[in-house]
Amino acid sequence: MGVKQSLPDPIEDYQSFMVEDYRPSTITRYSKIVRHFLEWQNTCGAQQFVSMESMMQEYMNPHSSINHRQKDMKSVAAAIRLYYYFLTRKKLPSCLPPAQNKSIECHVDKYVSYLAQVAGLTEASMQSRKNYITRFLYYAFGEQEISPFTLSVETVQAFLATELQHLRPTSKKSVIGIIRSYFRYLQFIGIEVDAGVLMIPLSVPVWRLSSVPKTVGLDEINRIHASYDRNTVVGIRDYAIVMCFTELGLRAMEVAHIKLDDVNWREGTVLIRNTKTHQDRVLPLSQRIGEALVEYATKARPETSDRTLFVRFSHHRGEAMGREQIRGTIRRAYARAGMPSTMTGTHILRHSKAKELYQQGSSLKIIADILGHASIDTTVIYTKVDRNALQCVTCPWPEVAHD
């Protein structure tokens, strides 16, 4: 049975739905995408689709014949998925290939089990690898029965030629690494593979310590702190969130995973779980962040059965904030504080904390422990941001004597 009716056009309600978690520019962009989607579904003949979900998936398909008039397909997918959630309060099912290949799906499920049980990857890393390998296998086999031993270096190169076109060097390296890792998995389960695949270079060399981490100074940090309206519950919550970045140097994922029970109010410490390195760590709370957390917990946090520390206030009231919602609070603070439009991520605050610790005389081992680095080699890069110290060890250019 086809889709009988056109979807409603609640653009204003959709915009109100986004207000708390999205910047004005994002709201405008997503609204434009959804409006175009609604116009398209009114003219394309919605009855040809068996469900609203299949219609939305077709619209998000970058290989379809639809004229999206949008260059950024990631934004198209994000806007449509959010619109589906707005309508149904459910996540839009993943967009599957038109004809699902059960042999591929079964094979990928086993690969994901390997990633979890043997490789011990995080959920986000497993999902990323699953997505790329699924696309690769459908590219290689389509509707045919999967036969991994027939995969050749030529097939891999052809897939990468289309997959890597618009990616940055670091992203290209990651995708190639995922493909090579999959072929090592095939070797692990006893399948002979084309040795040439494991020799594919990781794109243009990406030197780990070739760049200087971007940081901001104390004046900028103070401007960001001052941008929060702490007369509102949202302002109180978001100020406590930014303190987790500027005082503790946490990752966005780590902030999102803090539980009420992880904070030891008597000892003044917080337990950081679900880390990138799979190693929990206990960090001391400064008076500044301690006061911010107490104010949030006693004056702003709504009653909820969820034990996650930071929760949402509007249409998801009482539900845990995800990593993207945490990042959204920081991006909006950047905008209010007049930071450059290119400054969007939270890692710059983490880098800035590391720089501050190093300039205060903390050892690289202590900084590595605070930031949760698995190896001190990762921390070494922060020595490059202390320009004053570097100037002290530079030698003067030797004078040349003239006769």
Higher per-residue pLDDT: 219 or 13 = 219
Q: What is the mean predicted confidence (pLDDT) over 12-38?
A: 82
**Claim to verify: residue 317 and residue 230 sit in the same structural domain:** yes
Same domain for 250 and 134: no
Q: For residues 117 and 185, state if they share a domain.
A: yes
- Regarding whether 176 and 149 lie in a shared domain, the answer is yes
Per the domain annotation, does 261 fall within a domain?
A: yes
Residue 294 lies in a domain: yes
Q: Are residues 109 and 74 located together in one domain of the fold?
A: no
- Which domain covers residue 330, as residue numbers? 218-344
CATH number of domain containing 139: 1.10.150.130
Q: Is residue 229 within 8 Å of residue 333, measured between CB atoms?
A: no
- Rounded to an integer, what distance in angstroms lies between the CA atom of residue 265 and that of residue 210? 41
% of the chain at pLDDT higher than 70: 74
Q: What is the pLDDT of residues 372-396, one digit of tens each?
A: 665 544 545 445 445 454 444 444 5
Q: How many domains does the chain have?
A: 3
Whether residue 371 is contained in a domain is answered as: no
DSSP state of 311: B
Check if the beta carbon of residue 37 is closer than 8 Å to that of residue 58: no
C-alpha to C-alpha distance for 105 and 31, rounded to whole angstroms: 34
pTM given for the model: 0.55
Instruction: State which of 88, 123, 148 marks the end of a domain.
Output: 88
Same domain, 276 and 337: yes
The pLDDT of 168-187, averaged and rounded, is 85
On whether both 69 and 125 belong to a single domain, the answer is no
Bridge-based pairing of strands 281-284 and 263-264 is: unpaired
**pLDDT tens column, 122-152:** 887 888 899 889 889 988 888 889 999 999 8
What string of DSSP letters covers 102-158? HHHHHHHHHHHHHIIIII---HHHHHHHHHHHHHHHHHHHTTSPP-GGG--HHHHHH
